[in-house]
Structure 1
């Protein structure tokens, strides 16, 4: 979970895989081969207008100069910068990275827009606060031609001087690195890796990666299918400040809903020397534990846990989980997938949270009541899963929905929940301007943009949240959807 942006800096590692921003959208043979253009959704979490400065860097090793420009953002407002449409970036193409600074606190979520008629999902990942960079970052899951998926990721210098980076890949069940690379990064720049092209990983690879650096770095990953299922998701690398012996997962599912959604957790051992014992505890509608799973993980390695494999989990289960470790802290990536025969392209990813906050921000929120289809609307729906990770009751939880100009459109007040328990919100459940909440984030004339804040009432309360952005994948089958998750960002 990202911390408050106290120094008003967001570092965003971009995967802009298109070399031509105006290229026509076309069918792709797989999600892995699809090009993406980045849109940065950013939110002013203060009560004053902000001047936001964007600095875009070419990839590491390029001789091109950074590009810098400003945007204004009203108090409480959320806006999007489409990299492919910004006039200042007309000469920017290929892969790159960005640093966003502001004279007011801001948060940001990166949206990757597929340049494909067959890949409909939009991978989501959060920007990094100025305190989130670390000299030790872990990527809890890295795949190469495994489960028909391959991972691409970036490593960005988040420090004020050049850094030297050592990247190691660990195969599941092995304590010795399969492959190691060492390289340098200039300030703000990123280097990009495609597991599918790293010959040292062999024909296939299922494991994780560790990143050690002489200064602060951050990392973002995209996982995409290599077959015709067209699934793609994104998640952040996890730095030292987020390592924890207790990790909270607001989403735990087993054959849930019409698309039969399931969760799986990739748990990585942060220690390079000690094994860890991990226990996953599942909760139902209350805070009581209904099932558990346990395993031992080797140093630097990972272990996967599938919710439906836990004894005692009911069908159509929609709950939450708490993952604990002894021997060393852990990091966790949550994934959600659906029954392929119903929703073949459904795949999401989010980062498990080691701690919570009293107030959270969700920069990217949309809702459509009447146009959740592929043709003609292709509009989206946001579902917010909120979990109490404190030691006492949360008190009432208030979700406020703001339009792109920072105006309050509606408020959803939820009853208090107990420790470990979860609850849910979406714009259609809020009270306020009902017509605008019914098509939240979609304004007359075609303008888009909407965000939310989530706050618990009791003194010292701690919550986390995961926002699922869902899109229709069929004009005729309502159960066939695609979706992607991102974590709500603490703002206090």
Structure 2
């Protein structure tokens, strides 16, 4: 799990674009060909006003510094395309955040398209998250109508040498590898669609090895007219237990279903993997198993598990491994005849924390489908990953100034059990009005809303995944797009 960003934050951002690129927005033939402008949503989880410096590293030229301040508990957004100090910044790049208070950050990619409405989400990294080995559990080229783009960033204090290895499903021998060097803070970008050595199509994973600390982030985008796009982070270390707060089979009006991409993090040992599915009452309803060769990956489809209710299952999963540790990516899709552009991605968690932060939270009660894609709704799936009951779970929703708007109190969860929260379920804080929750995170022309999630029992451990949904139609309420990101541990 990622630690709170304090003093130094590494953010790997894909497809930064300046405002000069946003003036000529055209409909794109696919999500893969769509340009994005990056917005960084950041939250001060400290006790005092934070003095923050964003340092941007363009593909060429000198770094650019952008100073900001942020009140305690507040959440704000910095849009790369509209920030005055970045008027000369365009193309791809990376960024480092420094702060005198602990902060967390989530990257929001804003599509510059009339057809792509989803906003890929990925978290920033603390200085402790960098590693000389990073795993990207799923990398595709023209597979399942999707192709992956990813970046590797130097998270060290000196230059590093890096080797990137591509492993096909079921293979322990790399299909392709590249070696290069990176200066401090800079990133190297990969587009699987342009790598000829991967052939006409590729389904696999990537292992990044470096002489110093690096981090990685990936975007997965459709190459057809479904306009799906999602993002997730690379993982530095495997685990023998991975928790998935979301496990679905034909759930909801658009029949959502989950799939897990599980990667063996060992270079030498086979991983014997079991996926255990639990319902909202914490009953085990099904299991799946597979053996995964070193460095390779396997996929697990929730609806394919024997015993899973195929009509509206909503639960969670625990993935365990013997023989070798693993990393896992959760993905959610929907019935393409109902919500063709629905597709999300999130990281499976290897452990939890007593308190979590969600830097990017929005809710619109009345304007969700009046202008599809313009305003979002956030739903938070919370799972107890500790060995005992969680005690009361409290979700606090804060505005862009750090003012408490509402609190949602949930009952205790047993180990493996999950529950859900959103702003509209909260009880108003003293002095607040209902419109602050009904249109949470939207304040005139300003944007900002965040949350903290906390369990009460001593030593309790929780994880959470935040789903940000947007309407994809003004007439069909089931036709939505969505993206997930993981809540970030504060302690």
Q: TM-score range by the shorter chain?
A: over 0.9
- Aligned residue number for residue 333 of structure 1: 329
Q: CA deviation at 1:17?
A: 5.3
- Aligned residue number for residue 88 of structure 2: 91
2:437 alignment partner, SS class? helix
Q: Does 1:108 align with 2:105?
A: yes
5+ residue gaps, structure 1:
none
CA distance in 1, matches of 2:455, 2:269: 37
- Aligned residue number for residue 278 of structure 1: 273
2:140 alignment partner, SS class? strand
- Aligned residue number for residue 296 of structure 1: 291
Q: CA deviation at 1:402?
A: 0.1
Instruction: Indicate if the aligned counterparts of 2:43 and 2:105 stay in contact, CA closer than 8 A.
Output: yes
- Aligned residue number for residue 260 of structure 1: 255
Instruction: Indicate if the aligned counterparts of 1:52 and 1:71 stay in contact, CA closer than 8 A.
Output: yes
1:326-367 deviations in Å (ceiling 9; x for gaps): 011100000000000000000000000000000000000000
- Aligned residue number for residue 9 of structure 1: 8
- Aligned residue number for residue 403 of structure 2: 407
- Any runs of at least 4 consecutive aligned residues in structure 1 with deviations exceeding 6 A, and if so which? none
1:131 alignment partner, SS class? coil
1:365 alignment partner, SS class? coil
Q: CA deviation at 1:58?
A: 1.6
- Aligned residue number for residue 76 of structure 1: 73
Q: Does 1:382 align with 2:378?
A: yes
- Aligned residue number for residue 485 of structure 1: 484
- Aligned residue number for residue 29 of structure 2: 29
Residue pairs, 1:41-52, within 5 angstroms: 41-52=41-52
Instruction: Indicate if the aligned counterparts of 1:374 and 1:473 stay in contact, CA closer than 8 A.
Output: no
Residue pairs, 1:213-232, within 5 angstroms: 213-232=210-229
Paired residues, number? 485
CA distance in 2, matches of 1:228, 1:377: 17
1:428 alignment partner, SS class? helix
CA distance in 2, matches of 1:286, 1:164: 49
1:168 alignment partner, SS class? strand
- Aligned residue number for residue 451 of structure 1: 450
Q: CA deviation at 1:24?
A: 2.9
1:238 alignment partner, SS class? coil
- Aligned residue number for residue 120 of structure 2: 123
Q: CA RMSD in A?
A: 1.0
CA distance in 1, matches of 2:83, 2:15: 14
1:380-433 deviations in Å (ceiling 9; x for gaps): 100000000000000000000000000000000000010000000000000013
CA distance in 2, matches of 1:33, 1:116: 10
1:71-103 deviations in Å (ceiling 9; x for gaps): 010111001000001111111100000000100
Range that drifts further, 212-221 or 10-19? 10-19
Q: CA deviation at 1:446?
A: 2.4
CA distance in 1, matches of 2:343, 2:411: 30
CA distance in 2, matches of 1:239, 1:231: 26
Q: CA deviation at 1:8?
A: 2.5
CA distance in 2, matches of 1:84, 1:58: 13
1:282-322 deviations in Å (ceiling 9; x for gaps): 00012221100000000000000000000111120000000
Q: Does 1:419 align with 2:415?
A: yes
CA distance in 1, matches of 2:398, 2:25: 31
Residue pairs, 1:383-398, within 5 angstroms: 383-398=379-394
Instruction: Indicate if the aligned counterparts of 2:334 and 2:340 stay in contact, CA closer than 8 A.
Output: yes
CA distance in 2, matches of 1:190, 1:378: 31
